[in-house]
Amino acid sequence: MSDVKYSPGLEGVIGGETAVSTLEDGLRYRGYLIEELAEHATFEEVAHLLLHGELPTMRELQNFRERLAAGAHVPPEIIETLRKIPASASTMDVMRTGCSLLAHWDPDVGDNSREANLRKAERLVAQLPVILAARARLVAGKEPVSPDAHRSWSANLLWMIHRLEPSPRWIKAMDVSAVLYAEHEFNASTFTARVVSSTLADLHCAITAAIGALKGPLHGGANERVLEVLQQVGKASEAEQWVRDALAKKVRIMGFGHRVYKTVDPRAELIKKFCRELAEESGNQEMEQIADTLESVVKGEKKLPPNVDWPSARLYYYMNLPVSLYTPLFVVARVTGWSAHVMEQHANNRLIRPDGIYVGKPARSFVPIEAR
């Protein structure tokens, strides 16, 4: 093994084949550019594309929405469990636990056929937002709001969190955010899901593990830290000095840089438009000015582009969403991509078991405890 090249973080290593998405010619989901999907498609259409392989017809979309509405039921025993989890617990931990709990009530849990996995995946797309919203309201001392079968996925999510009628602009912004978070090739959480499913573990196991991977601040957890940065700056007039001081002290500013995108993250560019609109609507123009200044300096000094977490944190803030929900909102969208990868792995499976390069002690003989 001494002549085998080691790549830290598996950077540049091909981990498998996929037909779900690619980053080679812009970010594409099953061949469609993310820019076109974000502008023209709803999240339900993109979820159907990722899970079923094609954009739906009008009839297929209606049937898909009906299945999501029917599958949104979360057993009352799970809601009662959410009530008993300490308020101090991370919402990501609650999402991980919630996904695992849902498996106990899923009639297809032990069936790894494509048909059963599709049914389970569709249920998770509908159920995980219910768990997210219920947890948010319980922590705030409010009762959970039941899902509304007559609302779209994004409108329903906002309704269950706020119990207020969301504006069309909020619904569109949430739709675009969910579309952009839905899938991203062999990222850390997706690869985790594929490793777990390669053992022929069930879909709920794989998604639960993926949620755990997403919690880390080097993956999905970064968006929560972004808002902390913006709030630390405080005033737009102080933003440039703040960021230059931070860079001089080699402080890492969350929300910049990406393993794959070296010049621009197209997802960040798409969300920025909605940030500006919602900032004006909510009276948060100063935060947008702070963000623009920090972005300009970091790009100029470090050549690091903002990633999708940079504008997403502001977008959620402008929609009055608690910071504790920022990464869980990633979860409820990315479950579509994770599920598509699990099904792909199960369809053409080989156990993922890489080699390791041993760097420990050389061979030695056991010494009885009396002689040590």
Whether 103 and 176 share a structural domain: yes
Q: Which two tokens stand for residue 127?
A: 């159920």
Same domain, 235 and 204: no
State the catalytic residue, choosing from 48, 258, 341, 346: 258
219 catalytic per annotation: no
Residue 61 and residue 115 in one domain? yes
Same structural domain, 158 and 272 = no
Residue 229 and residue 254 in one domain: yes
6 or 213: which leads in pLDDT? 213
Q: Give the domain CATH number at 137.
A: 1.10.580.10
Percent of the chain whose predicted confidence (pLDDT) is above 90? 78
Residues 145 and 258 in one domain: no
Residue for token pair 């972005």: 295
Q: Is residue 20 part of a domain?
A: no
Residues 259-271: pLDDT tens digits? 776 667 888 889 9
Whether residue 366 is contained in a domain is answered as no
Asked if residues 314 and 287 have their Cβ atoms less than 8 Å apart, the reply is yes
- Domain contains 356: no
In this structure, the answer to whether residues 48 and 131 fall within a common structural domain is yes
Q: How far is CA 357 from CA 2, 7, 351, 364, in A?
A: 8, 11, 19, 18
Does 104 reside within a domain? yes
**311, 336: one domain:** no
N-term to C-term CA, the chain: 32
Beta bridge partners of 32: 29
* Residue 318 pLDDT class (50, 70, 90 cuts): very high
In a domain, 118, yes or no: yes
Determine the pLDDT at residue 3: 67
Question: What pLDDT, in 10s, does the model give residues 142-159?
Answer: 999 999 999 999 999 999
Same domain, 82 and 164: yes
Spatial contact of 256 and 310, defined as CB atoms under 8 Å apart? yes
The domain tally of the chain equals 2
Residues 253 and 162 in one domain: no
Same-domain pairing of 159 and 76: yes
> For residue 136, how far is the Cα from the chain centroid?
17
- State mean pLDDT over 325-351: 97
Residue 289 lies in domain: 222-318
Residue 125 inside a domain? The answer is yes
Would you say residue 100 lies in a domain? yes
- Helices 188-198 and 326-347, axial angle in degrees (round to 10): 40
Specify whether 292 is catalytic: no
| Mean pLDDT of the residues in the chain | 93
pLDDT at 201 (0 to 100)? 98
Residues 6+ apart with CB under 8 A from 35: 26, 266, 270
Question: What is the mean predicted confidence (pLDDT) over 124-146?
Answer: 98
Say whether pLDDT at 202 is over 90: yes
Is 1 within 8 Å of 357 (Cβ atoms)? Answer: yes
Same domain? 207 vs 226? no
For every residue of 235-247, DSSP letters joined together read -GGGHHHHHHHHH
* Identified catalytic residue from 48, 175, 309, 346: 309
Q: For residue 266, what is the domain's CATH number?
A: 1.10.230.10
DSSP-assigned beta bridge partners for residue 28: 22, 33
Residue 302 tokens read as: 């470090």
By DSSP bridging, strand 21-22 and strand 32-33 are: unpaired
